[in-house]
C-alpha cells in the first residue's frame, strides 16, 4: 500500500514538473519577440530600418567614397501585385541625398491595401540608411488594376563603416487586410 502512495506521489511530481516546464517554455517563446526586437534595436542587427522619416541636415557629402546601394522588391504570397524597383543598383556618395522610385500595380479585380516592410543588409548598415520620403511610412491603397510610381528619397550616412561597400535595401509588400485578420 505504501508503495502505491509513493508511486502516485512520484507520478504527481513528474506531472507538476512537466506542466511547469511546458508553461515556462510557452512564456519564454512568448517573450522572445520583444526581446529580439530590443536586441536588434540595440545592436543594429537584422537590418531593421526605422519607419520614421529621417531628418537630414545640410551634410557635406563624402565625394571620395562610393557605396553601392542595391534595391530588391518582393511581395508576400497573399499580395497579388507587381512590385519592382525602377533601378536595381546605384552608386552613391555617403552624406548625399538621392531619389529613386519603385513601381507597384494591383493585379486584382478589387481594391487592396498593402504595407511595405523594409530591410537593410548587412544589418550593421541599417542604422546608417536614412529615408526622408518613403512609401513604407504609410499603408498604400490601390484600386483594381491601379499602378503608380512610389518615390524613395534616401541618404547613406557618412558614419557607415568603411568596410561596408554594398548595402541592399529590400522591401516586401504585405496585404494589410490579411495582417489584420
Closest Cα to residue 90, out of 73, 63, 66?
66
Determine the pLDDT at residue 181: 39
Q: How far is CA 93 from the centre of its chain?
A: 24
**Model confidence, pTM:** 0.69
pLDDT tens by residue, the chain, 181 residues: 556 777 788 788 888 888 888 777 776 666 665 665 555 555 555 545 555 454 565 678 899 999 999 999 999 888 889 999 999 999 999 999 999 999 999 999 999 999 999 999 998 899 899 999 999 889 999 999 999 999 999 999 999 999 999 999 999 999 887 544 3
Closest Cα to residue 98, out of 107, 108, 87, 84?
87
Range of the domain at 141: 47-180
Closest Cα to residue 102, out of 79, 135, 78?
135
CB 173: neighbour CB atoms within 10 A? 24
Q: How far is CA 18 from the centre of its chain?
A: 37
Task: Domain count for the chain, please give it.
Answer: 2
Please indicate, yes or no, whether residues 64 and 113 belong to a single structural domain of this protein: yes
Please indicate, yes or no, whether residues 62 and 112 belong to a single structural domain of this protein: yes
How many residues can be counted in the chain?
181
Closest Cα to residue 172, out of 46, 56, 42, 85?
85
Please indicate, yes or no, whether residues 3 and 51 belong to a single structural domain of this protein: no
* Residue 147 phi, psi dihedral angles, 5° rounding: -135, 155
Please indicate, yes or no, whether residues 12 and 100 belong to a single structural domain of this protein: no
DSSP single-letter state for residue 48: B
CATH number of the domain within which 65 lies: 2.60.370.10
Strands 67-75 and 89-92: antiparallel
Please indicate, yes or no, whether residues 31 and 56 belong to a single structural domain of this protein: no
Determine the pLDDT at residue 180: 40
Determine the pLDDT at residue 98: 96
Please indicate, yes or no, whether residues 6 and 30 belong to a single structural domain of this protein: yes
Determine the pLDDT at residue 166: 97
Please indicate, yes or no, whether residues 79 and 17 belong to a single structural domain of this protein: no
For residue 3, give the C-alpha cell: 508503495
Determine the pLDDT at residue 83: 95
Amino acid at each position: 500500500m505504501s508503495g502505491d502512495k509513493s508511486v502516485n506521489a512520484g507520478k504527481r511530481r513528474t506531472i507538476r514538473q512537466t506542466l511547469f516546464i511546458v508553461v515556462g517554455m510557452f512564456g519564454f517563446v512568448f517573450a522572445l519577440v520583444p526581446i529580439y526586437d530590443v536586441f536588434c534595436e540595440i545592436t543594429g542587427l537584422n537590418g531593421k530600418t526605422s519607419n520614421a522619416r529621417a531628418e537630414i541636415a545640410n551634410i557635406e557629402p563624402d565625394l571620395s567614397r562610393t557605396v553601392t546601394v542595391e534595391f530588391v522588391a518582393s511581395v508576400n504570397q497573399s499580395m497579388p501585385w507587381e512590385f519592382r524597383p525602377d533601378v536595381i543598383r546605384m552608386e552613391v556618395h555617403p552624406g548625399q541625398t538621392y531619389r529613386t522610385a519603385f513601381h507597384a500595380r494591383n493585379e486584382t479585380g478589387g481594391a487592396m491595401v498593402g504595407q511595405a516592410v523594409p530591410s537593410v543588409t548587412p544589418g550593421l548598415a541599417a542604422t546608417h540608411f536614412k529615408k526622408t520620403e518613403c512609401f513604407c511610412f504609410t499603408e498604400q491603397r490601390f484600386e483594381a488594376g491601379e499602378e503608380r510610381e512610389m518615390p524613395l528619397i534616401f541618404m547613406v550616412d557618412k558614419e557607415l563603416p568603411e568596410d561596408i561597400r554594398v548595402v541592399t535595401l529590400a522591401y516586401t509588400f504585405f496585404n494589410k487586410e490579411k495582417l489584420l485578420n
